[in-house]
């Protein structure tokens, strides 16, 4: 995916906008991920990545819910993280507190299969990262997913 970086004035936050044209029967996408640095990347690095382009839930408080294009593939989720990590000035295994959050655009549990695949692959690439899921999935959907896991 192609991406552009928008840095905050204090350089502690960077927004990455990823774009990918339509291919192989898939619609083109534009998604966001955010990189946070706390004091230094070596001290604490947090990445919030997208799991969907848009969101089908339609929460009135969220601009993402005004449109839904499609779920991201596992490789598209992973590519956000690996591209962002190319912009971090230290080795990933030297980060004291490293968090990857699946939350930026879309609800991770509404793309469960691809998020689960990406978590497994990301754990292999970045074994010291905490892989965190933030969700607003409706309670019924959440209980169905939990019953599938257990």
Over residues 83-137, the pLDDT tens digits come to: 999 999 999 999 999 999 998 778 898 899 999 999 999 999 999 999 998 766 5
pLDDT (0 to 100) of residue 138: 54
**71 Cα distance to chain centroid:** 12
Domains (range + CATH), the chain: 2-149 (3.20.20.70)
Q: How many whole angstroms separate alpha carbon 8 and alpha carbon 3?
A: 16
Q: How many whole angstroms separate alpha carbon 38 and alpha carbon 36?
A: 7
């Amino acid at each position: 995916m192609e991406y552009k970086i928008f840095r905050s004035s204090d350089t502690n936050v960077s927004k990455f906008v990823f774009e990918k044209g339509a291919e192989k029967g898939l619609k083109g996408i534009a998604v966001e991920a955010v990189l946070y640095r706390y004091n230094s990347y070596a001290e604490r690095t947090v990445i919030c990545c997208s799991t969907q382009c848009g969101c089908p839930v339609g929460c009135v408080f969220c601009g993402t819910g005004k449109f839904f294009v499609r779920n991201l593939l596992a490789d598209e989720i992973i590519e956000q993280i690996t591209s962002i990590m190319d912009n971090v000035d230290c080795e990933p295994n030297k980060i004291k507190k490293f968090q990857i959050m699946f939350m930026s655009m879309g609800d991770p549990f509404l793309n469960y299969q691809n998020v689960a695949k990406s978590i497994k692959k990301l754990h292999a690439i970045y074994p010291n990262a905490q892989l965190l899921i933030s969700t607003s999935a409706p309670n019924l959907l959440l209980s169905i997913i939990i019953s599938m896991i257990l």
